[in-house]
A and B are shown apart, each in its own frame.
Chain A
Amino acid sequence: MRRIQNITKTPEGAIGFGIIAALMLVALFAPIVSPGDPLRIAGSPLLAPFVDPAFPLGTDRLGRDVLAGIIHGTRTSLAVGIAAAIAAIAIGLCVGLAAGFAGGAVDEALMRIVDAFQIVPSFLLALAFVSVIGASVPVVVLAIALGAWADPARLTRAQVLSIRERDYVASARVIGMHPVEIAWKEILPNALPPVLALSAIIVAAAILTEAALSFLGLGDPNIVTWGSMIAEGRNVLRSSPSLSIFPGLALVITVIGVYLLSEGLTKALAGRRSEA
């Protein structure tokens, strides 16, 4: 609870937290707020927004409710974004910890792999991965994580290398603490916070990547996503631009919210450090 208070103390953090909390609620309660399959045909096609109170944001070419699509799309975006970030951080932590603790040849080998993944543009990697294996939510999550784990791996390794040299780790060795306990109790908890602060950026990037994949038709075809809605709307961009604009806005707001929250998080962490 104190963490959350710290984050919301800065204006960025407060706004970001507000946006993300609202989106989370929407995603969580999507089936209640907007019951039924968002992909079903609900009314007459191409209804303009703000005209029919039953379809506040209008309908698309097939008569599907745009608002329902956006509400359910929030679920996909957040779920894929957060799952991909968790996967990326998990992989990055494992690789970074292994490299930092093992050192020597293991470190060298792991960091060359990290280099390789950092050189390949992450979107191309995700694109290739999904086109080869096929589009489904778990594959998309994994594809995005594959392009995003290199940064946390690098940061984790740097953290481990720097904390290993601290006097408190030397103290732990002097009192005869076992190396495994030192890694687990002295190094890991102090190496984690900056890596976790990175997670917000990864979530934002993952949400954008997911949207881009769906836009290209490489998302899961059975669920509604903002990317696929934008792609849908592209066919009638001249006559009904709102079909692309609304999901686009949702995307922008989400990504901004995540960035603001990460700013607040970083400042809260920095504040805690300067207090110490």
Chain B
Amino acid sequence: MMLLDIADLSRRFSSGGRDVAALSDVSLTLAPGETLGLAGASGSGKSTLARILLRLIPADGGTIHFEGKDWLTLSGAELRRRRAKMQMVFQDILGAFNPRATVASVLDDPLRIHEIVPKAERPGEIAALLERVGLPASYATRSIREVSGGQRQRIAIARAIATRPSLIVLDEAVSALDVSIRGKILELLVELQQERGIAYLFVSHDLAVLRAVSHRIAVMQAGRLVEIGTASQVIENPQSSAARALIAAVPRLVTGLPERHYYDV
């Protein structure tokens, strides 16, 4: 059974008299434990898809089934409860945290809201989460502004796995990071996936990143899904002009490295 089934999803934006079809009839599926890379040029609608999926903005049309249930008709307390199963990591490594938060409070919120562990065990769980993403447990007391960008993204990942989700949407989650840190974060994500069977929808405009983590890659152009296939199919034998343009933007892809190796630069 599919974990996620998106059918004919559409969304238009009209701002200042300009009408943009950010998403037109996008359909795709995701299996449990699978990584689907979502590629596309800037403005092709990747973030719009991610935000609709996370119920941050409404869709104009189409359906989403997540874990077998209609996801777009959920609301209120039921939606909040089910959100535990679908988490997100944002691109903006600073903006994704309340500037007043501490590392502990960032991780405490999801544990408290979803009652993942009893109250007394929360500090221990926070320490375990930090250690799992490669940070010392002593970081818990720090202000979120006192940790570096790469560390912050590790905390964002810890927050995302705190509720034990089955799907994590990562919108350009490594784009803002240094190339040297990027590889380590991708490695961590792949490890977590193998360990916990989490599925990823991995949004990026960088095919080199997607190739390192994706089982399949979908390519978007102007709100439409123009190509979808296994990572090696799409990269070695692209069918759409959009995919070819993305490949041309990453020269080292042409050398034919094996698929889904760890991304070391």
Chain B 119-154, CB-CB to A under 8 Å as 1, else 0, gives: 000000000000000000000000001000000000
- Give chain B nearest CB distance to A186 CB in angstroms: 5
Known: A177-B113, A189-B100, A276-B145. A171 touches B80 (CB 8 A): no
Is A171 in contact with B114, judged by CB distance below 8 angstroms?
Answer: no
Report the stretch among B6-14, B82-90, B187-195, B220-228 that lies at the interface: B82-90
Is B95 in contact with A276, judged by CB distance below 8 angstroms?
Answer: no
Is A190 in contact with B100, judged by CB distance below 8 angstroms?
Answer: yes
Q: Hey, which chain A residues are within 8 Å of B83, CB to CB? A: 173-176
Q: Which of B56, B80, B101 contacts A170 (CB 8 A)?
A: B56
Is B109 in contact with A190, judged by CB distance below 8 angstroms?
Answer: no
Is A176 in contact with B110, judged by CB distance below 8 angstroms?
Answer: yes
Known: A176-B80, A176-B84, A178-B80. A190 touches B99 (CB 8 A): yes
Is A174 in contact with B56, judged by CB distance below 8 angstroms?
Answer: yes
Q: Hey, which chain A residues are within 8 Å of B159, CB to CB? A: 171, 175
Q: Which of A174, A186, A275 contacts B98 (CB 8 A)?
A: A186
Known: A170-B56, A276-B145. A175 touches B113 (CB 8 A): yes
Q: Hey, which chain B residues are within 8 Å of A173, CB to CB? A: 54-56, 83
A168 within 8 A of B: yes
- Give chain A nearest CB distance to B89 CB in angstroms: 9
Q: How far is B88's CA from A186's CA once the two chains are assembled, in angstroms?
A: 18
Q: Hey, which chain A residues are within 8 Å of B79, CB to CB? A: 176
Q: Which of A167, A174, A176, A177 contacts B92 (CB 8 A)?
A: A167
Which A residues between 164 and 193 are near B, CB-CB below 8 angstroms? Answer: 166-168, 170-178, 185-186, 189-190
Q: Hey, which chain A residues are within 8 Å of B109, CB to CB? A: 172, 175, 177
Q: How many residues of A contact B (CB 8 A)?
A: 18
Chain B 91-118, CB-CB to A under 8 Å as 1, else 0, gives: 0101111111100000001100110000
The interface centre, meaning the residue of A166, A168, A172, A185 with most chain B CB atoms within 10 A of its CB, is: A168
Is B87 in contact with A170, judged by CB distance below 8 angstroms?
Answer: no
SS of A interface (majority): helix
The interface centre, meaning the residue of B79, B109, B163 with most chain A CB atoms within 10 A of its CB, is: B109
Q: Hey, which chain B residues are within 8 Å of A174, CB to CB? A: 54, 56, 83, 86-88
Please, which residue of chain A has its CB at the minimum distance from the CB of B96? A167
Q: How far is B86's CA from A173's CA once the two chains are assembled, in angstroms?
A: 11
Q: How far is B99's CA from A100's CA once the two chains are assembled, in angstroms?
A: 21
- Give chain A nearest CB distance to B91 CB in angstroms: 8
Please, which residue of chain B has its CB at the minimum distance from the CB of A189? B100
Is B163 in contact with A175, judged by CB distance below 8 angstroms?
Answer: yes
B69 within 8 A of A: no
Q: Which of A168, A177, A178, A185 contacts B97 (CB 8 A)?
A: A168
Q: Hey, which chain A residues are within 8 Å of B145, CB to CB? A: 275-276
Q: Which of A167, A176, A276 contacts B114 (CB 8 A)?
A: A176
Q: How far is B51's CA from A276's CA once the two chains are assembled, in angstroms?
A: 26
Chain B 7-47, CB-CB to A under 8 Å as 1, else 0, gives: 00000000000000000000000000000000000000000
Known: A166-B95, A276-B94. 17 other contacts (CB 8 A): A167-B95, A168-B97, A168-B98, A170-B88, A171-B88, A172-B109, A174-B56, A174-B88, A175-B83, A175-B110, A175-B163, A176-B81, A176-B83, A176-B114, A177-B109, A178-B113, A186-B98
| Residue ranges of A at the interface with B (Cβ–Cβ < 8 Å) | 166-168, 170-178, 185-186, 189-190, 275-276
What are 19 pairs between A and B in contact, CB < 8 Å?
A167-B90, A167-B95, A168-B95, A170-B51, A170-B54, A170-B88, A171-B90, A171-B97, A172-B98, A174-B86, A174-B87, A175-B159, A175-B162, A176-B79, A176-B84, A178-B80, A178-B113, A186-B98, A190-B98
